[in-house]
Amino acid sequence: MQVTETASNGLKREYKVVVAAEDMATRIGDRLAELQRTVQLKGFRPGKAPVDLLKRRFGEAVVSEVVQKTLQDTSGEVIDRQGVRPAVQPSIEDMSFDEGKDLEYVMAVEVMPEIEAGDFSSYELENLTIAVDDGKVGEALERLRERNKTFEEAAEGHAARTGDAVRIDFTGTIDGETFAGGSAEDHLAEIGSGRMFPEFEASLEGKKAGDSYTVEAPFPDDYGAEHLAGKTARFEVAVKEVRTASTPDLDDAFAKSQGAEDLDGLRDRMSERLTAEYRHVGRQRLKRLLLDKLSGAYSFDVPPSLVDNEFDSIWRQVEREPDHRHGEGGDDGHDRGEPARDEKREEMRTEYRAIAERRVRLGLLLSEIGRAHDIQVTPEDMQQAVIERARQFPGQEAKVVQYYQENPQAMQALTAPILEDRVVDRILTQVTLKERGVTPSEFFEIDSQAEESGKDEGKTAGKTSATGDPADDGSRPGPSRDEERNTRQ
């Protein structure tokens, strides 16, 4: 086999490969001989069919099979001989072969960049530790009570007020035409929840069962569906029922309904949960600071195909989000020919491509550090990750475990963030950490200011709830690692 490097541009390499005609003839002959030993033809005993007959009958298929096998074997040999690490599967181009002639092809490959991980002992990061006080525990318990409130039909003639819920039918129109999502039956709307347009929600106050009325509500100018943005909808509303809320008392009985022995036990559990949640968001902030530090310190080339794949994944996610759709109801955002919108779309694509490149670069860097220090994900780690994932789907744990057992690609998706965190932990052992204790409010204020100043690229990694707590209900510890990877790096 003869190999000649024909192109070297950044991380892209091209090699001209020639497999001699004699070698190809030997490979084809060996395959025919193997076929002779196994094939059974009418009129011939096993292993006695003439090779010439086999070649006439199966020759075209044998040649195709041998060519494919030769491409696979020799391309791997080229990679080993050249001493490069492919970033993606090499591609075979300009392949030519006829019996009696050389097999020739060009192999194009993008290689991994050379990365020197270096030493991180000069890095200094601030680690904020959040203290959980009785006030925060009390607030979390109040949210838990709110989550467990029930609604009962109000007495006849009761006028709906903030905190009540009304069961309604409504039909919305714009310029006399109905629109998708503008109508519903038996919709339960809680007054004061902020889940509906302010004008619509405010109109429910004072209404009684049996009332019918009309209300107008404007769509925001920046509403995700552009054919509705800035327009005013007219809603015909029929109130079918008013319900009043009943919130459980914060006592031992309520604590037992939540699985605790008594109220003190529930307080202890909530304190432990908040402590774990605050530890998680503190860790996520520290990780973001480290990734920002690494991103600023390393500026090597990254394989274009990896960036393209990452960008495509990000962009598909962006286009699935309502706020970023470019038209509804068959409007793909281009048939109107609006230059401003097209320009905004291109700006977004440019922004997310930069994010994709940053994510790939950091991923390669962390991977190289992990390789240099032989950091591994153990079977025990994977088992624990599957268990944690299954716990997120109460009642379906067995199905979740089975899904991961039967899907290696899904298991790989769990492996990547575990390995990433292990590498981050390794780096943090070399970093100088300046510890500072803060209250939850101080922490989220600091985090918010960092986002506004652009230190976090305007993205929402580890973003907290609107209340300034890790979770509105006192139970959810913020974005998962997968969410953090998807929105941050």
Q: What is the CATH number of domain 124-134+268-296+355-487?
A: 1.10.3120
**Amino acid identity, residue 80?**
D
Measure the CA–CA gap between 90 and 240, rounded to whole angstroms: 65
Give the pLDDT confidence of 359-393 residue by residue, as tens digits.
Answer: 999 999 999 999 989 999 888 999 999 998 898 88
Range list for CATH 3.30.70.1050 in the chain: 2-110
Residue 47 — very low, low, confident or very high, per pLDDT cuts 50/70/90? low
Instruction: Please tell me the least confidently modeled range out of 3-17, 326-340, 469-483.
Output: 469-483
Residue 336 — very low, low, confident or very high, per pLDDT cuts 50/70/90? very low
For residue 190, the model assigns a pLDDT of 93
CB atoms near residue 262 (< 10 Å): 13
The DSSP secondary structure of 375-430, one letter per residue, reads ----HHHHHHHHHHHHHTSTT-HHHHHHHHHH-HHHHHHHHHHHHHHHHHHHHHTT
Would you say domain 150-246 falls under CATH 3.30.450.20? no
For residues 245 and 163, the answer to whether their CB atoms sit within 8 Å is: yes
Identify the CATH class of 2-110: alpha beta
Instruction: Please tell me the least confidently modeled range out of 75-84, 144-153, 223-232, 243-252.
Output: 223-232
Range list for CATH 1.10.3120 in the chain: 124-134+268-296+355-487
For residue 331, the model assigns a pLDDT of 43
Give the list of residues 6+ apart from residue 388 with CB closer than 8 angstroms, or none: none
For residue 365, the model assigns a pLDDT of 94
Residue 322 — very low, low, confident or very high, per pLDDT cuts 50/70/90? low
Range list for CATH 3.10.50.40 in the chain: 150-246
For residues 460 and 288, the answer to whether their CB atoms sit within 8 Å is: no
Helical ranges in 16-117 per DSSP H: 21-38, 51-82
Percent of the chain predicted with pLDDT > 70: 87
Give the pLDDT confidence of 408-423 residue by residue, as tens digits.
Answer: 888 888 888 899 999 9
Measure the CA–CA gap between 174 and 225, rounded to whole angstroms: 14
Q: What is the mean pLDDT of the chain?
A: 85
For residue 32, the model assigns a pLDDT of 84
Give the pLDDT confidence of 141-163 residue by residue, as tens digits.
Answer: 999 998 999 999 999 999 999 99
For residue 241, the model assigns a pLDDT of 96
For residue 298, the model assigns a pLDDT of 92
- Whose CA is closest to 297, among 179, 427, 406? 427
For residue 194, the model assigns a pLDDT of 87
The residue to which tokens 């530090």 are assigned: 293
Give the pLDDT confidence of 448-467 residue by residue, as tens digits.
Answer: 887 766 544 434 333 333 23
Give the pLDDT confidence of 186-242 residue by residue, as tens digits.
Answer: 999 999 988 888 999 999 999 999 999 999 999 988 887 778 889 999 999 999 999
Percent of the chain predicted with pLDDT > 90: 61
